[in-house]
Amino acid sequence: MFSIQLHIPLNSYLGQHISLLQHIVGVAVVSALCSIPGYQDLDLHLKWPNDIYTSQSAKLGGINVKNSINNAVAVCNVGVGVNLDNKNPTTCINEMIVQLNSMASAPSEKLAPLSCEKLLAVTFTQLESLLNSIQMGHIQQILQLYYSYWLHSDAEITVIGSRGSTQKATVVGVDDFGFLRVRGQDGIPFSVHPDGNSFDMLRGLVAPSVK
């Protein structure tokens, strides 16, 4: 739906935690839409590491970030896809608005469909705010907002190692770099990197990606 290029100084907080960027963009999209007056009940959630879903496991969008280094700056090309109008094969944001309107008790409570221009405007405003916040070191506030939308709190999963070994684990959050943080049966927490693993929330499984 849109792409944007960001230049992040490597000596900044985000520059030293650049893998957080995909999460910041995701929470910017979701929180921006849900912060529009009247639209707070949109069923929008975040699926680690970079997808936008409904609570009913319907995918609405995703984020892709490609980084390169130019001198002391990380050049980040961010692509975001959000299904605004096409309700097939799953659903879309404006179809969710239709469903909310079907439950409205009065015509005055019905919500207008969202335009692409509105989505972009609120998303860019929120993204700018979140980027400024994290560059000031306010990571905990951003993580709190992120957790309010994500789907994985206390999820029971199986971690499959590179040699096929498995262990049960419980999702506890993300670490300072945005990697999934889980707690094994021995009580010891560890991180799972999204660039080498895929999270299948339907099966409760973290598994090595197929190359």
User: Hey, what CATH topology would domain 2-147 get?
Assistant: BirA Bifunctional Protein; domain 2 (3.30.930)
Q: How confident is the model over 112-132, as pLDDT tens digits?
A: 999 999 999 999 999 999 999
Provide φ and ψ at 182, rounded to 5°.
-130, 160
Measured CA to CA, the distance from residue 199 to residue 206 in angstroms comes to: 5
pTM of the model: 0.89
Q: Are 125 and 32 within 8 A, CB to CB?
A: yes
- When mean pLDDT is compared across 60-69, 77-86, 197-206, the lowest value belongs to 197-206
Q: What is the pLDDT of residue 159?
A: 78
Residue 196 tokens, joined = 């080498």
Q: What is the pLDDT of residue 35?
A: 97
For residue 144, is pLDDT > 60? yes
Q: 71's torsion region: left (phi>0), alpha (psi -120 to 50) or beta? A: left
* DSSP strand pairing (51-53 vs 180-184): unpaired
Residue 125 tokens, joined = 């405003």
Q: Are 25 and 97 within 8 A, CB to CB?
A: no
Measured CA to CA, the distance from residue 86 to residue 91 in angstroms comes to: 7
Measured CA to CA, the distance from residue 207 to residue 210 in angstroms comes to: 9
Measured CA to CA, the distance from residue 37 to residue 197 in angstroms comes to: 37
In the chain, domain spans: 2-147, 156-208
Measured CA to CA, the distance from residue 209 to residue 211 in angstroms comes to: 6
